[in-house]
Amino acid sequence: MAKMIKGLAGIKANQQAQQERAEAGNRPKAEWFKFPKGQQNITVRFLQELDPEMKGFREDRGVGFIATEHNAPGPDGWKRRGLCTIDDGECYACERHKMNYKEGWRQKQNLYINVLADIGDGLKVYVLTRNANSAFAQALIEEAVLEGSIVDANYRITKTGEGTTTQWLLRRLRDEPFDDSNVEIYDLDKTAVREVEYEKQPEYYGAVYQEDSSPAAAQSSAPRSAPQATADDEW
């Protein structure tokens, strides 16, 4: 924060920045689904279908969805994840990716959906997110197509591997589904994803991104080759 703010333009800009910080602090926060340390199996009930035409769709719950996003490069980049805005005409992260495709600005597609699960504190609602190209996401999509619904049963999610070799396996169960009659789901548009105006994107991503700290920054003139990533990479 500047020590001194001079001029009406500076004062107005400072007021706007303070308002935006206050709004960001008041943004609804979700609890995220994750595996407790040492636990490999968790039973969940999906609380949203993947399509309004599916037989268990509820208007008040909407659908789980796949979002195309970017995050800033670097170890803290996950703190600044935003929706890709290239379809609106301009996207800062896409521009940076074109400048240096090894730096880590590429698009990523992620699945977001509400689930009911017990991961140690009793049955609670969580937001589950996973790479949309992962085996888990593809298995869930296949379930939706074959069964016509993913909200009418419990599923067991099994975690295998560690780090970049982590995979989640999905299995439909025959037991009685968890009671979801009194649960309230998270509004994914407000809690899971964030759309930032193009003009504000450099500042938004720049809060955790230092250009000269990126290992790829010094390699921007090197011959280009396709970046290596697996479909099950976690954020």
Average pLDDT value for residue range 40-60: 97
Average pLDDT value for residue range 214-234: 41
Average pLDDT, whole number, for the chain? 86
Predicted TM-score (pTM) of this structure = 0.79
Average pLDDT value for residue range 20-41: 78
Share of the chain above pLDDT 70, in %: 80
CA-based max dimension of the chain: 68
Pairing of strands 81-83, 41-46: unpaired
Residue 31 confidence (pLDDT) above 50: yes
> Could you give all domains of the chain from N- to C-terminal order, each with its CATH number?
26-218 (3.90.198.10)
Which of 12-26, 70-84, 138-152 ranks highest by mean pLDDT?
A: 138-152
* pLDDT at site 210: 72
Helix (H) / strand (E) containing 71: strand 65-71
Which residue reads 């303070």 in tokens?
Answer: 18
